[in-house]
A and B are shown apart, each in its own frame.
Chain A
Amino acid sequence: MKKILVIDDEPIVRTSCVRSLSPEGYEVKSASSGREGLELLENEPVNLVLLDLKMPDMDGIEVLKTIKNRWPETKIIMITGYSTVETAVKTLKLGAFSYLEKPFTPDTLLETVKEAFS
């Protein structure tokens, strides 16, 4: 079973992801901050991380860099409020697989996740 970690400071976004992906057969965990997410990863590595770009304690870019550095195999999909071309390019260059614009539908989310695992 593929393991997915959602890191977002917004509970509704985390819940949405869990409720969209769990029925599809993924094991979804969630963290409310970058620090908490990294702690969870220390205990149990995952296959994919859904990572919010804008968070209060630790910036999404920073978390992305750390994950890519320590767990290079882990795939990352960035979640952005409204991405500009520059930010998108930047995150992709840093090793993110793709990015999702909020608000996203469960269909779009699933599609992107599937792409990441294919």
Chain B
Amino acid sequence: MKNIFRHPDKSLAAKLIIAIGLLMIIGSFTFWYVLLHKQKKDIIAIAVKYGGSFVEFTRESARYSMLTFRREATQQVLENLSTPEGVQSVRIFDHKGRVFFSSHKEDIGNSVDKASIACKGCHLEPEKSSALLPTAQKWTIYESRKGFTALKVIDTISNEPSCYTASCHIHPKTQKILGFVEADFSLALLDEALFKQGLALTAYVAIFVLAVSASLGIILYKLVSKPVSELAYGMERVSGGDLNYSVPIKSMDEMGVLAKTFNSMIKDIKAARDQRESWTRTLEAEVAKKTEEIQKTHASLIQTEKLASLGRMAAGVAHEINNPLTGIVTFAYLLKRSAPPDSATAEDLNVIIEQAERCAKIIKNLLTFARATPSEKGAININDVLNRTIYMLQNQEKFHNIKFDIHMDDTPFITIGDASQFQQIFLNIFINAADAMNERGIITIATRKIIMDNKPFVEIEFTDTGCGMPEEILGRLFEPFFTTKPVGKGTGLGLSVSHGIVKHFGGRIDVKSTVGKSTTFFVRLPLIEEHL
């Protein structure tokens, strides 16, 4: 409430209160002025009426003494009549203005001022002519020398038969007006009453204006200023970022509606912000997901690139090694020819030849890995290839103590590739499994359709009951020349070659292993559309 009047230029209520207050003061004072003026006028009219009666009474009281020409008696009447407090003076003068009788003796014999109401009441220009006004003015209000308002009433003494027939014969019959009776009354009481009334009215108006302004102030404060400042505070809070704030709704009027609208607006803004934030969060999660995918792809690309460069290097080395091998094989043969057959030397040379040929075989595998040219490309049924491979293995000594647990889906899984290469891949996995199980255990084979990156794939699962592999081995599994088998048993090229082939046909090989329990290889190859 204090704030309203501390900065009135900033407060709507203060402005309104000041405006209404000013209007009320102007209105009240106009009313006050009109009322007082009217009252004064009414009171003066009453005073004039009584004044007239008094003058008439004076004339009638003095009539007899004047008719009988007893001047002292007339003078006495006037003196007696002027005794009451309100009567200032009473006098009688003739048409020419000579004072004959007066309540103030010193006044007798004086002339009446021609500019006074005594003359001007009837005559237009008393000094110049005897022309009359259309209506006579028999009274006037003036400011007395003592400082109060005074009323002067005047009346004529007309010529009557008793006058011009009187024994004194002073007045001729032709004279219409013999003289005038004039009385002055003090209106000091009236002044006082009016002053008191004015004072009271002023006090009433002031109290009224104050009371109305105060009530208006309270009403405006409660109905306008407070809700508006609450609204402003709410807006400040909201612009400061606090969207949970709501403005209290205390009424059902326009202010209440405004607060309600404001609250619902904030609610909408908050909902929009929440939605935006949730979008941002979703977006962040999406970005994180994509980043992870990109990182994975990147890692896989690095792996691929590593394998490819290793492959290129291996190929170069392999080509170079073939030349000295040719020499070794040739000269071992030549020596063997000159040595007696079945001699120890011949046997030794055979070892050289065998080992050189083993080198040649390793190189051949290596070059298969390095080279990515498919030989026989065509549509093949993965189940058929698997069945053929398993059938072939079941007759091998290595697999005599291994049970094949087959769970193949009956649907033909058609993929594009080289059947003999796929057979080589499966064979490799089976041999690895047999080695991991010490040629004793169960190999589970399953095929199923899966969706990877929105594309159909056939997943071939090979699970053994072997020794499993720790994490560090799993990471290097597809590197060329990496092997866990004893020297001379594995080249370390099987899985890297398999990896290259599967990759070439758009698939992938994954592995999952538990140390001491099992290893599972997943070969995933893309299915061709018309067989879906």
Interface on A for B, CB 8 Å cutoff?
A: 10, 12-13, 15-16, 19-20, 54, 81-82, 84-86, 102-107
CB neighbours (8 Å) of A19 from chain B are: 330-331, 334
CB neighbours (8 Å) of A10 from chain B are: 323, 326
Identify which of A13, A15, A103, A106 contacts B360 (C-beta below 8 A): A103
Identify which of B319, B327, B357 contacts A81 (C-beta below 8 A): B319
- A20 near B330 with CB under 8 A, answer yes
State A106–B322 Cα separation when bound (angstroms): 15
- B333 near A103 with CB under 8 A, answer no
State A16–B330 Cα separation when bound (angstroms): 6
Q: B353's closest neighbor in chain A, by CB?
A: A105
Identify which of A12, A54, A107 contacts B326 (C-beta below 8 A): A12
- Closest 8 A/B residue pairs (Cβ): A12-B327, A16-B330, A103-B325, A102-B322, A103-B326, A10-B323, A81-B319, A82-B367
- B326 near A104 with CB under 8 A, answer yes
CB neighbours (8 Å) of A103 from chain B are: 322-323, 325-326, 328-329, 356-357, 360
* 26 A-B interface contacts by CB (under 8 A): A10-B323, A12-B323, A12-B327, A13-B326, A16-B329, A19-B330, A19-B334, A20-B334, A81-B318, A82-B319, A82-B322, A82-B364, A82-B367, A86-B373, A102-B323, A102-B325, A103-B326, A103-B328, A103-B329, A103-B356, A103-B357, A103-B360, A104-B329, A106-B330, A106-B334, A107-B333
A104-B329, A107-B333 are known contacts. Are A84 and B318 too (CB-CB below 8 A)? no
CB neighbours (8 Å) of A105 from chain B are: 329-330, 333, 353
Identify which of A15, A84, A104, A107 contacts B373 (C-beta below 8 A): A84
CB neighbours (8 Å) of B373 from chain A are: 84, 86
CB neighbours (8 Å) of A13 from chain B are: 323, 326-327
Verify if B495 is at the interface (C-beta below 8 Å from A): no
State A80–B357 Cα separation when bound (angstroms): 16
- B363 near A82 with CB under 8 A, answer yes
| Least distance between A51 CB and chain B CB atoms (Å) | 15
| Least distance between B364 CB and chain A CB atoms (Å) | 6
CB neighbours (8 Å) of B367 from chain A are: 81-82
| Least distance between A56 CB and chain B CB atoms (Å) | 12
Verify if B244 is at the interface (C-beta below 8 Å from A): no
A86-B373, A103-B356, A103-B360 are known contacts. Are A81 and B322 too (CB-CB below 8 A)? yes
Binary flags per residue of B336-367, CB closer than 8 Å to A gives 1, else 0 = 00000000000000000100110010011001
Identify which of A15, A20, A54, A82 contacts B318 (C-beta below 8 A): A82
CB neighbours (8 Å) of A81 from chain B are: 318-319, 322, 367
- B327 near A15 with CB under 8 A, answer yes
Verify if B248 is at the interface (C-beta below 8 Å from A): no
CB neighbours (8 Å) of A15 from chain B are: 327
Verify if B8 is at the interface (C-beta below 8 Å from A): no
| Least distance between A99 CB and chain B CB atoms (Å) | 14
State A13–B367 Cα separation when bound (angstroms): 20
CB neighbours (8 Å) of B503 from chain A are: none
Q: B334's closest neighbor in chain A, by CB?
A: A19
State A19–B221 Cα separation when bound (angstroms): 123
| Least distance between B340 CB and chain A CB atoms (Å) | 18
CB neighbours (8 Å) of A106 from chain B are: 329-330, 333-334
Identify which of B326, B331, B357, B371 contacts A102 (C-beta below 8 A): B326
Verify if B375 is at the interface (C-beta below 8 Å from A): yes
| Least distance between B175 CB and chain A CB atoms (Å) | 169
CB neighbours (8 Å) of A107 from chain B are: 333
Q: B363's closest neighbor in chain A, by CB?
A: A82
Interface centre among A10, A85, A86, A107, by most B CB within 10 Å? Answer: A10
A19-B334, A20-B330, A20-B334 are known contacts. Are A12 and B324 too (CB-CB below 8 A)? yes
State A106–B337 Cα separation when bound (angstroms): 11
| Other 10 A-B pairs with CB < 8 A, given A103-B322, A105-B330 | A12-B323, A12-B326, A13-B327, A20-B330, A54-B319, A82-B318, A103-B329, A103-B356, A106-B334, A107-B333
State A20–B318 Cα separation when bound (angstroms): 23
| Least distance between A46 CB and chain B CB atoms (Å) | 21
State A4–B437 Cα separation when bound (angstroms): 55
State A103–B358 Cα separation when bound (angstroms): 11
| Least distance between A104 CB and chain B CB atoms (Å) | 6
State A105–B364 Cα separation when bound (angstroms): 16
CB neighbours (8 Å) of B330 from chain A are: 16, 19-20, 105-106
Q: A15's closest neighbor in chain B, by CB?
A: B327
State A104–B357 Cα separation when bound (angstroms): 9
Interface residues of B in 414-430 (CB under 8 A from A): none
CB neighbours (8 Å) of B356 from chain A are: 103
Q: B327's closest neighbor in chain A, by CB?
A: A12
State A54–B318 Cα separation when bound (angstroms): 13
Interface residues of B in 350-392 (CB under 8 A from A): 353, 356-357, 360, 363-364, 367, 371, 373, 375
State A84–B323 Cα separation when bound (angstroms): 18
Q: B336's closest neighbor in chain A, by CB?
A: A106
Q: B325's closest neighbor in chain A, by CB?
A: A103
CB neighbours (8 Å) of A104 from chain B are: 326, 329
State A82–B371 Cα separation when bound (angstroms): 10
